[in-house]
Structure 1
Amino acid sequence: MQVVELVDKYDGECVTANDKVGFIQDTKTDKACTRTITVPKPMKGPIQVYYQLENFYQNHRRYVKSRSDKQLRSKEFSSVVKTCDPEAISEGGAPIVPCGLIAWSLFNDTFTFSVNKKTVQVNKKNIAWSSDRTIKFGSDVFPENFQKGGLIGGGQLNEKLPLSEQEDLIVWMRTAALPTFRKLYGRIETDIMASDEISVVIQNNYNTYSFGGTKALVLSTTSWIGGKNNFIGFAYVAIGTISLLIALAFVGLNMVKPRTLGDPCYLSWNKENPDYVQ
């Protein structure tokens, strides 16, 4: 089955001011933005909804270390925050749960979809790995003092839900290895036909403008081997090309300076070999 993928970069289109950083930091400005996407080919559900960020280094050493896995697993370790600087302790001196820069920078743009002017729901259940939900994030750990300081980093959390049920956070905290990455936002369970118009109301809240990052909305179908992945194809071509060049180099070396196969003078027990040492 052919994978159909739609990518819409909206960070530049959803800003109504020249000062993009000032616009995104203004809490009084309505940041709603409507985008229209025409579907070129039929898309069979479930359709994966991703957000894509570029120039965001989740693999930065300080960023990756700024979390407390013990705190995420159990309320017994809620005060274990020594690895979470600078988002470890609230202004009142109490520990922040979840602490650290990764949780603090949680992505908080939202997307509302309609197809041909009919509202379409996005299923946000089971978007995180089941092992993360059941093992890494505790069902007895609830947010405390989160995003309560003077500088707000990203999304808010529901203080009435345990971390094991807050899947947007769980998905976000599985850090990406590359500066351009996608994370699953949800799934549209219905089919979308060719030439249908998808209208997306975007709440453009997340500040990528301060560091020159970009944001995109991605809709993609999947096949039995997953979604579209150009990296694997490029990797196969690159490794195949390198292997071919190495093979040609060895062939050339053998033609220029051949070595007789099975020459016994190279064996250590051949005492006639002048290099042999008793």
Structure 2
Amino acid sequence: MQQGNSDSSTPPKKSKKPKYSRFTQQELPACKPILTPGWVITSFVAVGIIFIPIGIASLFASEQVVEIVDHYDHECLPPEYLSDPLTFIKNSKTNKTCSRRLTVPKPMKGPVYVYYQLDNFYQNHRRYVKSRSDKQLRSKAAEANTKTCAPEATIGTGDPIVPCGLIAWSLFNDTYGFSLKNKVLPVSKKDIAWKSDQEKKFGSDVYPKNFQSGSLIGGAKLNASIPLSQQEDLIVWMRTAALPTFRKLYGKIEADFEANDVITVVIENNYNTYSFGGKKKLVLSTTSWIGGKNDFLGIAYLCVGGLCLFLAITFILLYVIKPRPLGDPSYLSWNRNAAGQLS
């Protein structure tokens, strides 16, 4: 009797078993399609039918783009400096003007976009990417905010550099002048930068100050009387590239070119890519509805579409030659009752 009383007074054991709910047991109503051969084959055929025309259209549009690429960095070296390009590029007294002649392979309808391409230039390097002050670029009130700009943060007297940082300091400074049949072709630099960058990232009250005033000049200089929001060359350059080979928009030529036209380009070969084994190229290009020349997009669509059609045909043959009977759907877990037993 006493033993029975002691048993009844024992507290119940605590259980770690969670309270039952349809949510925790994943028993809520859901769409759970059964992938029958018919559904799988139809899906692959649909993807193939959609992707292959898109791939063909993309390749066709890419082929319509006319592109001229001129690798000029070594071509613009004087013969006596071919074996020592660093001496040439660092000497401020050497003549860095170079003339190139480009033949137009196909008719080019304006506007013709002018790009400079750099190879082996790692703008995505961590220290390089961080060497800037977005607050300083946006507002004059943050002019002294240069703590993230080392080593190009301040000049010897402690005054801040605007814009500060390695990205701005290494601004591309080669220049291009174009002419056709002794007629100068003006290069427009209007609207070459993103509007969002001009309006939100670069302030209209921020002007260059103490920029490229040290003993070591990295690249182009800026006009101190023009606000950063209007210096589109700088804005384009400050949008750093993810890959070591990249193109950036230099300007636009509002003119049409015919096949076999010869464009004369006068280049000021100022930018130092020789010290790190980089390459410089001048690119003239038209555009299409997919943008510039890009065969990869069309090839990717064709490959995916072709693979899907191949798989669809393979499954059809397997289904016809060696069919397998389908199982009973009533045995699927979601066709059972909440207790997990067959009804």
Query: Which of the five TM-score ranges fits, normalised by the shorter chain?
Result: 0.7 to 0.9
- Using the size of structure 1 for normalisation, the TM-score is 0.88
* Structure 2 segments unaligned to the other structure (5+ residues): 1-60
Give the aligned residue type for 1:214. K
Aligned residue for 1:33, secondary structure, equals strand
- 1:48–1:268 distance in 2 versus 1, CA, 3 Å: closer
The one-character-per-residue Cα deviations of 1:79-104 (angstroms, maximum 9, x if unpaired) are 11111111111122111110111111
Larger radius of gyration: 2
Matched, 1:267 2:338: no
Q: 1:87 aligns with which of 152, 159, 162?
A: 152
Aligned counterparts of 1:35 and 1:76: Cα–Cα separation in 2: 45
Give the aligned residue type for 1:59. N
- The corresponding residue for 1:185 is 250
Aligned counterparts of 1:247 and 1:61: Cα–Cα separation in 2: 46
Give the aligned residue type for 1:120. L
Larger helix proportion of the pair = 2
- Using the size of structure 2 for normalisation, the TM-score is 0.72
Aligned counterparts of 2:307 and 2:245: Cα–Cα separation in 1: 25
Give the aligned residue type for 1:179. P
Q: Give, in angstroms, the shift of residue 265 of structure 1.
A: 4.7
Q: Give, in angstroms, the shift of residue 32 of structure 1.
A: 0.6
Q: Give, in angstroms, the shift of residue 149 of structure 1.
A: 1.4
- Percentage of matched positions with identical amino acids: 63
Aligned counterparts of 1:63 and 1:243: Cα–Cα separation in 2: 43
Aligned counterparts of 1:209 and 1:144: Cα–Cα separation in 2: 29
- The corresponding residue for 2:285 is 220
- 1:158–1:239 distance in 2 versus 1, CA, 3 Å: farther
- 1:193–1:140 distance in 2 versus 1, CA, 3 Å: same
Aligned counterparts of 1:262 and 1:137: Cα–Cα separation in 2: 65
Deviating beyond 2 angstroms after TM superposition, the runs of 4 or more aligned structure 1 residues are 230-251, 258-271
Supply the RMSD in Å over aligned alpha carbons: 2.9
What aligned pairs does 1:102-251 form with structure 2 within 5 A after superposition?
Answer: 102-236=167-301
Q: 1:5 aligns with which of 49, 67, 71?
A: 67
- The corresponding residue for 2:54 is none
The one-character-per-residue Cα deviations of 1:231-256 (angstroms, maximum 9, x if unpaired) are 423544565678789999999xx999
Aligned residue for 1:198, secondary structure, equals strand
Aligned residue for 2:141, secondary structure, equals helix
- 1:250–1:145 distance in 2 versus 1, CA, 3 Å: farther
Aligned counterparts of 1:148 and 1:237: Cα–Cα separation in 2: 53
